[in-house]
């Protein structure tokens, strides 16, 4: 079933030196519970596309539908995780950060506490429920952000290079954890990255964007069983294919 439909979407920024066309004629469908990765070089419009789906921006052309309804703004059917660790509220503990969405929805205190605990456990941070963000490492902060985006139970999870600022070892760990979380929650995930190996590790499907203006150049289905072995020949073959679509060194 089609969950997210991006139909002939274009987006133009009113830049200071005249308009900048960030996206042109982008058409992508994401199935329910599918894990879709958007890859492309820096500046090709990945963040723009994610912000359009999140409802922070409105398309200048085309339309985006979620569960058949046109997106007109942000909504509780989508959870967003940003790249920047600073997305957490520094004045709230991990627990209270995760409770935020439930609080906005008017959930009672008992339900909030219970649900937040459950999602902190899901990202393996139950012991740090009482810690403030600045007391947590970057990887832990991003895990809190994932728990926070999932806690109010959106059907769609939007992630913009959430692990790009982490060291390689932590990133591998986080990718494994994310696959587990996804397997357990069965969310529809739209995940932006410029890291091809990450895309092949995570995705059911990889969409390759080319820059200036951003447009879809390839749609690759990754038919590898999970958990995936990044050193297997088949894995490397997928990487090679996608790097080829990116046009060169990746």
Partner 1 sequence: MRRSGVRTVVGALVAFGVVALGWEVFARSGSLPPAITPPVEAIAAALARMIGDGTLFVHVGYTLGRIAAGLGLAALAGVPLGMLMGRFRPVERFVLPLVSVLSPIPSLAWVPLFILWFGLGNTASVALVFYAALFPLILNTWTGVCSVNRLWIRAAESMGARSGAIFRHVVLPGALPFVIAGLRQAFARGWIAVVGGEMIAATRWGLGWVIFDSKEFLNTDVMLGSLAVIGLLGLGVERLVFAALERRTVERWGLVRRTSA
Ligand X SMILES: Nc1ncnc2c1ncn2[C@@H]1O[C@H](COP(=O)(O)OP(=O)(O)O)[C@@H](O)[C@H]1O
Kindly list the residues in this chain that would bind Mg ion in the complex (CB under 5 A).
47
Q: Find the residue with minimal CB distance to ligand X.
A: 47
Does position 76 interact with partner 1 (CB under 8 A)? The reply is: yes
Residue 9 binds which entry of ligand X, Mg ion, partner 1, none, CB below 5-8 Å type-dependent: none
How far is it, in rounded angstroms, from Cα 34 to Cα 179? 12
Q: Which of 70, 86, 109, 236 binds partner 1 (CB under 8 A)?
A: 86
The site string for ligand X over 13-42 (x = CB under 6 A, - otherwise) reads x-x----x-x-----------------x-x
Q: How far is the CB of 55 from partner 1 (least distance, A)?
A: 8
Residue range at the interface with partner 1 (CB under 8 A); choices 33-41, 118-126, 130-138, 203-211: 130-138
Task: Give me the least distance between CB of 224 and partner 1, in Å please.
Answer: 31
For position 89 contacting partner 1 by CB under 8 A, the verdict is yes
> Which CB, 47 or 188, lies closer to Mg ion?
47
The smaller minimum CB distance to Mg ion, of residues 4 and 159, is found at 159
Examine residue 74 and tell whether it contacts partner 1 (CB under 8 A).
Answer: yes
Q: Of 80, 94, 190, 199, which one interacts with partner 1 (CB under 8 A)?
A: 80
Give me 98's structure tokens.
Answer: 């995760």
Among residues 150, 168, 169, the alpha carbon closest in space to that of 159 is found at: 150
Q: Which residues pair with 188 in a beta bridge?
A: 156
Give the one entry of partner 1, Mg ion, ligand X, none that residue 20 binds, where binding means its C-beta sits below a cut-off of 5 to 8 angstroms depending on kind.
Answer: ligand X
Nearest to 120 by CA among 109, 111, 128, 108: 128
Choose among 212, 199, 201, 158: nearest CA to 30. Answer: 158
95 touches partner 1 by CB under 8 A: no
Verify binding: residue 44, ligand X, rule CB under 6 A: yes
Q: Work out whether 146 is an interface residue with partner 1 (CB under 8 A).
A: no
Residues binding ligand X (CB under 6 A): 13, 15, 20, 22, 40, 42-48
């Amino acid at each position: 079933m089609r969950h997210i439909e991006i139909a002939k979407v274009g987006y133009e920024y009113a830049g200071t030196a005249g308009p900048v066309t960030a996206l042109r004629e982008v058409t992508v469908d994401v199935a329910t519970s599918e894990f879709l990765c958007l890859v492309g070089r820096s500046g090709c419009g990945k963040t723009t596309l994610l912000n359009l789906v999140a409802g922070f921006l409105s398309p200048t052309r085309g339309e985006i539908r979620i569960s058949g309804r046109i997106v007109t703004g942000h909504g509780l059917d989508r959870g967003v995780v940003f790249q920047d660790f600073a997305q957490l509220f520094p004045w709230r503990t991990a627990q209270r950060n995760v409770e935020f969405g439930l609080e906005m929805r008017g959930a009672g205190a008992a339900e909030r506490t219970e649900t937040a605990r459950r999602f902190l456990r899901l990202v393996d941070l139950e012991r740090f429920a009482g810690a403030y963000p600045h007391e947590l490492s970057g990887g832990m902060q991003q895990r809190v952000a994932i728990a926070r985006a999932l806690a109010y139970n959106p059907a769609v999870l939007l992630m913009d290079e959430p692990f790009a600022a982490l060291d390689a070892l932590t990133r591998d760990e986080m990718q494994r954890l994310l696959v587990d979380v996804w397997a357990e929650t069965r969310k529809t995930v739209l995940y932006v990255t410029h890291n091809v190996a990450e895309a092949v590790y995570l995705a059911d499907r990889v969409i390759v964007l080319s820059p200036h203006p951003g447009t879809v150049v390839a749609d690759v289905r990754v038919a590898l069983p999970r958990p995936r072995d990044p050193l297997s020949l088949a894995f490397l073959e997928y990487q090679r294919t996608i790097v080829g679509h990116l046009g060169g060194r990746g």
